[in-house]
């Protein structure tokens, strides 16, 4: 019995010595790098899950030709938390001209946006572009859209009065669907007046 205890003690001491040698040989851990790696993994998992849900929703919508739009209303600038039913109405800003340009004082300026319906349903004529910050164009704060079929594009041109003082001028917009929800935000134009 005593021999067994001595043997186990020797084995324990040898194992402990081996682990302490391994611990001494290991490099210090870079916590920031570890956090970045974990965040990247989490983002990849979220993206994978949302993509899979979108594929399922697209398949179901194509089969039934109906997409439920039962989501909570959100107001103001921002975006809606993505869920499969939200892909019914989606937009993409595919082109914009006259951004980040330089103008003289009192010189009128304009911008042309091209939007594409990349969602699962056609847009009705109740979709609109809403101004929420910055310079207001001659057309006003709300620009109504005509009906846009899925996969089609629409051009929107805005005209601004010339500025009387030098500086940087911005105009921020968001695209609203027929239920009053933001489907595309952070649409903007920025110019420099000298």
Is the pLDDT reported for residue 64 higher than 50? no
**In this predicted structure, what is the pLDDT of residue 77?**
52
Two tokens, residue 193: 């007046």
- With 0.85 as the threshold, say if the pTM is over it: no
**Looking at the domain covering 89-193, what would its CATH class be?**
mainly beta
Percent of the chain predicted with pLDDT > 70? 55
Contact status, residue 94 vs residue 114, Cβ threshold 8 Å: yes
Give residue limits of the domains in the chain. 2-63, 89-193
- Mean pLDDT of all residues in the chain? 76
As a whole-number percent, the residues of the chain with pLDDT over 90 amount to 44
User: How would residue 165 be classed by pLDDT, with cut points 50, 70 and 90?
Assistant: very high
pLDDT, tens digit, 9 for 90 and up, residues 121-158? 999 999 999 999 999 999 999 999 999 999 999 999 99
d(CA 142, CA 180): 13
* Cβ(130)–Cβ(158) below 8 Å: no
């Amino acid at each position: 019995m005593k021999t067994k205890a001595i043997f186990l003690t020797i084995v324990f001491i040898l194992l402990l010595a081996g682990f302490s040698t391994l611990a001494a040989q290991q490099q210090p851990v870079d916590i920031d790098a570890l956090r970045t790696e974990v965040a990247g993994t989490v983002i990849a998992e979220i993206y994978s899950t949302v993509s899979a849900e979108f594929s399922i929703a697209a398949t179901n919508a194509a089969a039934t030709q109906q997409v439920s739009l039962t989501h909570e209303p959100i107001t103001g600038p921002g975006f809606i938390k993505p869920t499969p039913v939200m892909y019914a109405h989606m937009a993409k800003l595919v082109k914009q001209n006259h951004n980040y340009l330089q103008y003289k004082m009192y010189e009128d300026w304009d911008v042309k946006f091209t939007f594409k319906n990349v969602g699962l349903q056609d847009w009705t004529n109740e979709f609109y572009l809403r101004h929420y910050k910055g310079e207001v164009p001659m057309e006003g704060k709300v620009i109504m859209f005509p009906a846009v079929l899925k996969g089609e594009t629409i051009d929107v041109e805005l005209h601004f009065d010339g500025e009387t003082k030098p500086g940087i001028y911005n105009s921020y917009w968001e695209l609203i669907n027929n239920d009053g929800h933001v489907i595309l935000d952070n649409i903007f134009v920025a110019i420099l007046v000298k």
